[in-house]
Amino acid sequence: MTPSEVRQLLAGVQTGTIKVEEAAAQLSEPAFGDLGFATLDLHRKERCGFPEVILAEGKTAVWVEGVIRRMAEAGQDCFVTRISVDQADHLSRHFPAADQDRLARTLWLPVRPAKPAVGRVLVVTAGTGDLPVAQEAVVTARVMGAGTELIADVGVAGIHRILRHREKLAAADVVIVVAGMDGALPSVVGGLADGPVIAVPTSTGYGAAFGGVAALLTMLNSCSAGVCVVNIDAGFKAGYVAALFIRRLEKVRHQSGAEETPKARG
């Protein structure tokens, strides 16, 4: 139910044209946005803390445009992932105020100003070829309110490159490690960081890399206890889960009366 529909409903209760019980029943019903080609979950934010995220892959540019408009009408922030070049060009014409990241292939159209970022999510890539997936994680965590920072191209082929960032690893609440090829970097980071490490295998690599399967299996077999793994090229999932960690951590800090988190980076 959109804000305008809620106001109409409440106005009906005020004037007596709608019974309280009827209004309560309507307000308790699941909110859906039925577009014919898509059925939007408009209660996702109330249940999960963040609105439904739109995957653009497999959809026409006009369909994605329609979804964005419907979410805006419902007064909800809209985040779209995996946008193609053609879709990006189309959406930039119709939503010039939206924030598009062509590397991450994302679009962010908030309905209200963002709150100050909290927490520290550090995103680390093994190679430059992993940057599109890493940037998707960065943008996702950022739009969900987490402070983020990116460190690129510090893979195990030159181990000294990651070792010089030990202070940042120690200061992070969550570390996301994005790597293809042999996928060894998350285990190294897991041995340096005292917080959760989210490993993201990427499809970069050739031959026996099997499109990211080799990196995925390496990460699943990590001997570092603090490493958990998401799917191949799943930058969005890593950023989303990291932001959930931050949200829960901030809630615990607030409830315990702990000092405020240092100003977030990124």
Among residues 57, 79, 109, which one ends one of the domains?
109
pLDDT confidence bin for 264, thresholds 50/70/90: low
Q: Where is pLDDT greater, at 157 or 44?
A: 157
User: CA–CA separation, 46 vs 41, rounded Å?
Assistant: 10
pLDDT digits (tens, 9 = 90+) for 91-136: 999 999 999 999 999 999 998 888 888 999 999 999 999 999 999 9
What are the residues whose beta carbons fall under 8 Å from the beta carbon of 31, sequence distance 6 or more? 1, 41, 42, 43, 74
Note whether 105 and 136 are same-domain residues: no
Among residues 109, 132, 152, which one ends one of the domains?
109
Of the candidates 110, 125, 138, 148, which has an alpha carbon nearest to the alpha carbon of residue 204?
125
Q: Where is pLDDT greater, at 138 or 10?
A: 138
Look at residue 49 and tell me if it is in a domain.
yes
Note whether 101 and 154 are same-domain residues: no
Q: Where is pLDDT greater, at 134 or 28?
A: 134
Q: What is the mean pLDDT of residues 4-20?
A: 79
Look at residue 46 and tell me if it is in a domain.
yes
pLDDT digits (tens, 9 = 90+) for 192-238: 999 999 999 999 989 999 999 999 999 999 999 999 999 999 999 99
Domain count, the chain: 2
Note whether 142 and 199 are same-domain residues: yes
Task: Evaluate whether 197 touches 184 at the Cβ level (below 8 Å).
Answer: no
Note whether 74 and 155 are same-domain residues: no
Q: Where is pLDDT greater, at 19 or 137?
A: 137
**By percentage, how much of the chain surpasses pLDDT 90?**
64
pLDDT value of residue 40: 81
Q: What is the mean pLDDT of residues 7-16?
A: 81
CATH number of the domain at 168, please: 3.40.50.1970
pLDDT digits (tens, 9 = 90+) for 168-194: 999 999 999 999 999 999 999 999 999
Q: What is the mean pLDDT of residues 142-157?
A: 94
Look at residue 261 and tell me if it is in a domain.
no
pLDDT digits (tens, 9 = 90+) for 34-59: 777 877 878 788 778 888 899 999 99
Q: What is the mean pLDDT of residues 157-161?
A: 91
User: CA–CA separation, 246 vs 237, rounded Å?
Assistant: 14
Look at residue 154 and tell me if it is in a domain.
yes
pLDDT value of residue 30: 55
In three state form, how does the secondary structure of the chain look?
CCHHHHHHHHHHHHHCCCCHHHHHHHHHCCCEEECCCCEEECCHHHHHCCCCCEECCCCCHHHHHHHHHHHHHCCCCEEEECCCHHHHHHHHHHCCCCEEECCCCEEEECCCCCCCCEEEEEEEECCHHHHHHHHHHHHHHHHCCEEEEEECCCCHHHCHHHHCCHHHHHHCCEEEEEECCCCCHHHHHHCCCCCCEEEEECCCCCHHHHHHHHHHHHHHCCCCCCEEECCCCCHHHHHHHHHHHHHHHHHHHHHHCCCCCCCCCC
